[in-house]
Structure 1
């Protein structure tokens, strides 16, 4: 074949290669680049606010879960170790200062009333004294109450009240503890941490352990670590409480040019952007653009308004926070920026990566087509 024909064939090959690359549209990559994300901002007609992270933004967005116990739970007093409760069994001895008493047999100075059951409403029945509220009283308080009632019937009665046995006050412990079951409220277990200790402690990572306390129709939650940091949160327990220990279920996703891409659960109560990136091995040194680390988040109205300094926002807003790790304070900002449940962290690729990919695709395609053209011209 002539040189002219060869040149023509190679020109056709180049044209076909360029056409092939152009027809492919977007070359394979991990996601949008920095420029494309900025094009989706509200300023460009998109539906997301693009916000550069700085100390003011980190302060406005540093919102952690509002967990803890209400004043009603926190200010409840400790149950006395000898407080009588529904289900308890009592033993009474009544001494009368007369020969023929109301309750004593002939020739006896005392009457034994054994195994008096405290009913579900907390009441007991004593002959000649009637129905009395026992639950909530100590044996001494109940003794004085019975004495006053009998004093109207017999002169100077002497009463002894003892707690014998019974179900008393109990708490259900379930979930992520070493032992689950029904535990009595006793002197060592009158508080939340004491009861958890009695159940063998938690069987999950303490840093992400949540302690739920259900009392009646209310359920309140606190981090286990906060119970030790703040003794005021180590609340007193009540009969019928249910303690449920579970793992923190908050999670975030990391995508793009990182060591790995995954959905990750929180390993601590608070996690920052730097710590989140560290969990996936940091930025990929061969791909990542350190000026384009983005955090995608649906931001509540009040926080979005504070971040943007606006008062015309209505409802939840889509916000994309930008971290530039090459800025003088970039690493500090990333270290202070708090990640929240549901966040998506995306690391863009460096522009040179896209360029190399395009060149590789172009010349790889050109080589393939040229080889085919040479085959044709060689015929």
Structure 2
């Protein structure tokens, strides 16, 4: 929404500015003198084959490796779990399931104190133990009553532990943990999968008072195994909505539009090509400008494409989100006029964007 508002504001304000025509060559000193009265610092850079690499830094879109631990999973029984216990050759100690009763319905529930009652031996501690540990304890106690007891213990109702999956998934839900490890991808799939607006690169997992941002896309596309961790009881998975990142292309362009930079790096030449290029009958190829907000002000990059080989320079200049590309028409007015009219537009849009962000 913020980006949409910003784009509409820029388009509307630029449409009202008579700034389409420019004098060349651009004189940086004159421009700086004219904008000194504004609370904005302006840097002018003419892009050439010699300097373009210094001003172009592609964003790192490859997946980073999460720092969240992913320990091996060994299910431990908790309060509320249902246990099914079988003592072979001793049907009197085995809870009958019957045709109309499932093992879960006829099983033994772990009570709030973490124990369950079993004939002959009384209370058995279950909380925090694996089924194998419970079996060993029960076997040792039954030896006093049954020679060489053969005992089987299994969990038939997993009710004590779960993770929550929220945000941009089709069916936000609580996913129970079982003896089968539940990975991040498994949990999201069990919640119906990602919605169309989900951002798989910024999945948040909250664990033990800490939050971890995980690039699940890196696991899917690059096989970064750490980014598909095994979840633990109490984890909360939140899938955020994808925030579209765009650059704006205006002026003497065949199809003024926005370019989606969310999932890829796009160069200046690529962006111009995708919107049909410059208008042959009205664009001035010397006046391809990229306005970029920085921490110290605004930097304006100029590409003089009067020679077609300059587009090769453009293939090395990577656009960043919120860049504004503006193409002027045949020269009549001074470049200073272009800057003087565009900078208030950019400044106003920046203030509006900051307000909407708050």
TM-based fold match above 0.5: yes
Alpha carbons of structure 1 residues 93 and 262: separation in structure 2 relative to 1, 3 Å: same
* 1:172 matched residue in structure 2: 164
Q: Which whole-Å deviations, capped at 9, do the CAs of 1:105-139 have from their partners, x for residues lacking one?
A: xx9874759322375x9x4455768674634x542
Checking the alignment, whether the CA contact within 8 Å between 1:251 and 1:265 is kept in structure 2 is: yes
* 1:190 matched residue in structure 2: 182
* 1:61 matched residue in structure 2: 57
* 2:101 matched residue in structure 1: none
Distance 2:88 2:174 in 1: 38
Local SS of the residue matching 1:336: coil
Q: Which has the higher contact order (CA 8 A, sep 6+)?
A: 2
Question: Quick one: which of 233, 242, 246 aligns to 1:247?
Answer: 242
Alpha carbons of structure 1 residues 323 and 164: separation in structure 2 relative to 1, 3 Å: same
Checking the alignment, whether the CA contact within 8 Å between 1:78 and 1:191 is kept in structure 2 is: no
User: Is residue 235 from structure 1 mapped to residue 229 from structure 2 by the alignment?
Assistant: yes
The Cα shift of 1:218 comes to 0.3
Local SS of the residue matching 2:82: strand
Flag structure 1 segments of 5+ consecutive residues without an equivalent.
1-25, 97-106, 301-315, 356-379
Checking the alignment, whether the CA contact within 8 Å between 1:118 and 1:134 is kept in structure 2 is: no
Q: Which moved more, 1:341-350 or 1:125-134?
A: 125-134
Local SS of the residue matching 2:215: strand
* 2:342 matched residue in structure 1: none
TM-score by length of 1: 0.60
Question: Quick one: which of 140, 144, 166 aligns to 2:132?
Answer: 140
User: Is residue 212 from structure 1 mapped to residue 197 from structure 2 by the alignment?
Assistant: no
Largest Rg, 1 or 2 = 1
* 2:316 matched residue in structure 1: 336
Return the structure number with greater helix share. 1
Distance 1:118 1:348 in 2: 77
User: Is residue 272 from structure 1 mapped to residue 264 from structure 2 by the alignment?
Assistant: no
Checking the alignment, whether the CA contact within 8 Å between 1:134 and 1:142 is kept in structure 2 is: no
Q: Number of residues paired by the alignment?
A: 296
Question: Quick one: which of 113, 116, 130 aligns to 2:109?
Answer: 116
The Cα shift of 1:163 comes to 0.6
* 1:70 matched residue in structure 2: 66
Flag structure 2 segments of 5+ consecutive residues without an equivalent.
1-15, 96-105, 335-358
Local SS of the residue matching 1:190: coil
Alpha carbons of structure 1 residues 188 and 162: separation in structure 2 relative to 1, 3 Å: closer
* 1:28 matched residue in structure 2: 18
The Cα shift of 1:28 comes to 3.2
* 2:84 matched residue in structure 1: 91
Local SS of the residue matching 1:297: strand
* 1:373 matched residue in structure 2: none
Distance 1:32 1:85 in 2: 74
Q: Which moved more, 1:152-161 or 1:255-264?
A: 152-161
* 2:252 matched residue in structure 1: 257
Alpha carbons of structure 1 residues 175 and 27: separation in structure 2 relative to 1, 3 Å: closer
Alpha carbons of structure 1 residues 326 and 223: separation in structure 2 relative to 1, 3 Å: farther
Distance 1:171 1:267 in 2: 29
The Cα shift of 1:220 comes to 0.6
Alpha carbons of structure 1 residues 189 and 108: separation in structure 2 relative to 1, 3 Å: closer
Q: Which whole-Å deviations, capped at 9, do the CAs of 1:332-361 have from their partners, x for residues lacking one?
A: 33223222222222222232x669xxxxxx
Distance 2:245 2:239 in 1: 17
> CA RMSD of the aligned region, Å?
4.4
Distance 2:268 2:315 in 1: 6
Distance 1:231 1:220 in 2: 14
User: Is residue 288 from structure 1 mapped to residue 283 from structure 2 by the alignment?
Assistant: yes
Alpha carbons of structure 1 residues 321 and 203: separation in structure 2 relative to 1, 3 Å: same
The Cα shift of 1:212 comes to 1.3
* 1:364 matched residue in structure 2: none
User: Is residue 323 from structure 1 mapped to residue 303 from structure 2 by the alignment?
Assistant: yes
The Cα shift of 1:90 comes to 1.9
User: Is residue 79 from structure 1 mapped to residue 69 from structure 2 by the alignment?
Assistant: no
Checking the alignment, whether the CA contact within 8 Å between 2:244 and 2:262 is kept in structure 1 is: no
